[in-house]
A and B are shown apart, each in its own frame.
Chain A
Amino acid sequence: MKQLGVLALAGFREAIRNRVTVVVAVFALVLIALTTVVMNLTVFSLDRVVTDFGLGVMSLLMISLAIFMSVGMLNRELERRTVFLIVSRPLSRSKFIVARYVGIMVTLTMLLAAMSAVYATQIWFFDVPLHNSMPAAIGGLWCQLLLLSAMGVFFSSMSGPITAAICVVGLYLVGQWTADLHVIAVKLGPVTGAIARAGYYVLPNFARMDFKPQAAAGMSVTLGEFVDGLGTSVGWSLLFIVGATLLFQRRDFK
């Protein structure tokens, strides 16, 4: 437990001092602040723009960052051989992976919290009526980050960063539209329908964690819906992390 703690702390320190993370974070804050200007110029419904644009920017940036951090992490450590200094301690490789994953999530959670604070300020500033779907959308985004990072760690434990990124992005896009793909595939014929149904149940369904549409439409999110999204995320993440530790167990560090 202590080892996990110190490793996650070091990972977090590395991440926040890494220029890329900082640049992305600053960029995000600037973009969100920019929405304020945009909103002053639009004549359309202000509430909708605030929720839509703010949440959209936040999720796009956080998702990119989650993928960037998770697919690069193991390979960077292997390439620069920092991993040698860690796993030469009395610590299993599984612990190393979990600690790295926790470190990424701590960093992402802090950034998400900072962005949410800016977002909340905007909402307050423009007197947008509060709605339970707004925090739900942010919570849902966190669930997506949890799963995306786990996927990134999984794929990077067996391949290079670019392949891993392609896999994660591919699965994410498919996972966004599994429901739609399902409908289309069923219409095309029984075989594709069966494949799509299998895919629908076998692939992680990101749409279940995405509450932005409800937030934009001002619809509420029920506790059941949220728990469903959280459960999907946690379940899949566990699976991916366990897979990553198994793959990593006997890999040569060169």
Chain B
Amino acid sequence: MHPAVECEGLSKTYRVGFLGRKVKALLPIDFQVNPGEVFGLIGPNGAGKSTTIKVLLNLVMPTTGKARLFGKDVHDPRSRESLGYVPEAPVPYEHLSGLEYLQLQAGLAGLTAADAKGEVTRVLDRVDMTRHAKLRIRQYSKGMTQRVMLAGALIGKPKLVILDEPTSGLDPLGRRLVRDLILELRRDGAAVLFCTHIMSDVEMLCDRVALLIGGSIHKCGPISELVADTRTHEVVVDHATKEQVLALLKPDDVARLEVVAQRVLFHVADTRLQDVLKALLNGGLTVTRIQSERIPLEETFMAALRTSNQPGGLE
């Protein structure tokens, strides 16, 4: 089976202004999204997330590299046969009603008239917009518009859904709906690719993420892996002095050492924990507590940002 999304050496240089000044939005990047996977593209504003998505939808022509959806080159309209997409801050045809907009989407998706009717009813109900279906979109609030756009992306039960900043600017209820929809899509075996700078969504939803900074992928992998790099453990040794502990361990292994009432507390990196414990126990000390501390994704994100000297926008 083909991956839902494949990018190989994809880069994009925009030309702006009269003189065609070059703006490198995307350095060559590679990644894949597999069927049934929720993939998060994360990064600060201007990292190139939307550009990546636009290349995948053939809205923007890549400068180098190839992109494929379900094994078909993105220049081929058939690559979009089973796709749902919601752009960043979408502005739909405001003179159409929500219902008419969805009928249009169903028609474009190639559904027959009978199927279209059922699908439109289903998705309207799913986003809880049946009541407002006949209202013109220009009369909708931002949240209502986003709901109808999401409904449009669900038409025809797509195998791949691409969402650009789906939760930004939504109220808690709207965010909740987006999260539920993403999880529902995954349960039904669809792949979801979404980009965001809101870390809590990522941790809650994604199977894998790619951290995009300044147009290149800084890190890519399962969330647990991204976080494991930076996992540390707090170790507590009872009835011991600082000197006793340090005598048994290499100085590099010990961080943030404190002594509190005959107890020594310090931090150890995930990779060194087993060796450190062996040394302590063999040396006759009593380890009374080990507490794993997961550095949240947000920290990883900020750390990556600092090392790349990029201004970051984070919510």
**Residues of A participating in the B interface, judged by any CB pair closer than 8 Å:** 2-3, 5-7, 9-10, 13-14, 17-18, 80-82, 84-92, 250, 252-254
Shortest Cβ distance from residue A8 to the other chain B in the assembled complex, whole angstroms:
11
- When the two chains form the complex, which single residue of B57, B77, B83, B110 contacts A84, counting CB atoms closer than 8 Å? B57
Q: A6-B108, A14-B96, A85-B152 are in contact. List 20 more A-B contacts (CB 8 A).
A: A10-B104, A13-B95, A17-B95, A18-B95, A81-B87, A84-B57, A84-B59, A85-B85, A85-B105, A86-B108, A88-B83, A88-B85, A88-B87, A89-B80, A89-B83, A89-B108, A90-B78, A90-B83, A91-B77, A254-B14
Question: Quick one: CB contact mask for B98-136 with A, threshold 8 Å, 1 for yes?
Answer: 001101110111100000000000000000000000001
Q: Is the CB of B59 within 8 A of A6?
A: no
Q: Is the CB of A13 within 8 A of B91?
A: no
Shortest Cβ distance from residue B307 to the other chain A in the assembled complex, whole angstroms:
30
* A-B residue pairs, 3 tightest by C-beta: A6-B107, A17-B95, A89-B108
Q: Is the CB of A88 within 8 A of B61?
A: no
B-side binding surface: helix, strand, loop or mixed? mixed
Docked pose: A87 CA to B90 CA in angstroms? 14
Docked pose: A54 CA to B91 CA in angstroms? 40
- When the two chains form the complex, which single residue of A2, A9, A18, A84 contacts B87, counting CB atoms closer than 8 Å? A84
Docked pose: A18 CA to B93 CA in angstroms? 11
Q: How many B residues touch the partner, as a band?
A: 20 to 34
**Residues of B participating in the A interface, judged by any CB pair closer than 8 Å:** 14, 54, 57-61, 77-81, 83, 85, 87, 90-93, 95-96, 100-101, 103-105, 107-110, 136, 149, 152
Interface hub of A2, A7, A14, A85 (most chain B Cβ within 10 A): A85
A-side binding surface: helix, strand, loop or mixed? helix
Q: Is the CB of A88 within 8 A of B95?
A: no
Shortest Cβ distance from residue B32 to the other chain A in the assembled complex, whole angstroms:
20
Q: Is the CB of A81 within 8 A of B14?
A: no
Docked pose: A86 CA to B152 CA in angstroms? 11
A253 in contact with B109 given A18-B95, A88-B85 (CB within 8 Å): no
Q: Is the CB of A14 within 8 A of B108?
A: no
Docked pose: A81 CA to B108 CA in angstroms? 17
A3 in contact with B95 given A87-B58, A88-B59, A92-B77 (CB within 8 Å): no
Tell me which residues across on chain B come within 8 A of A9, comparing CB atoms.
104
Shortest Cβ distance from residue B43 to the other chain A in the assembled complex, whole angstroms:
19
Tell me which residues across on chain A come within 8 A of B105, comparing CB atoms.
85, 89
Write the chain B residue with the least CB distance to A2: B107
Q: Is the CB of A13 within 8 A of B87?
A: no
Docked pose: A86 CA to B85 CA in angstroms? 10
Docked pose: A172 CA to B71 CA in angstroms? 47
Docked pose: A82 CA to B101 CA in angstroms? 11
A3 in contact with B92 given A84-B59, A89-B80, A253-B54 (CB within 8 Å): no
Shortest Cβ distance from residue B10 to the other chain A in the assembled complex, whole angstroms:
14
Q: List 9 A-B contacts (CB under 8 A).
A: A6-B103, A7-B104, A10-B96, A84-B59, A85-B149, A87-B58, A88-B85, A90-B81, A253-B59
Q: Is the CB of A252 within 8 A of B95?
A: no
Q: Is the CB of B85 within 8 A of A10?
A: no
Write the chain B residue with the least CB distance to A82: B93
Docked pose: A91 CA to B79 CA in angstroms? 10
Write the chain A residue with the least CB distance to B108: A89
Tell me which residues across on chain A come within 8 A of B104, comparing CB atoms.
6-7, 9-10
Write the chain B residue with the least CB distance to A79: B91
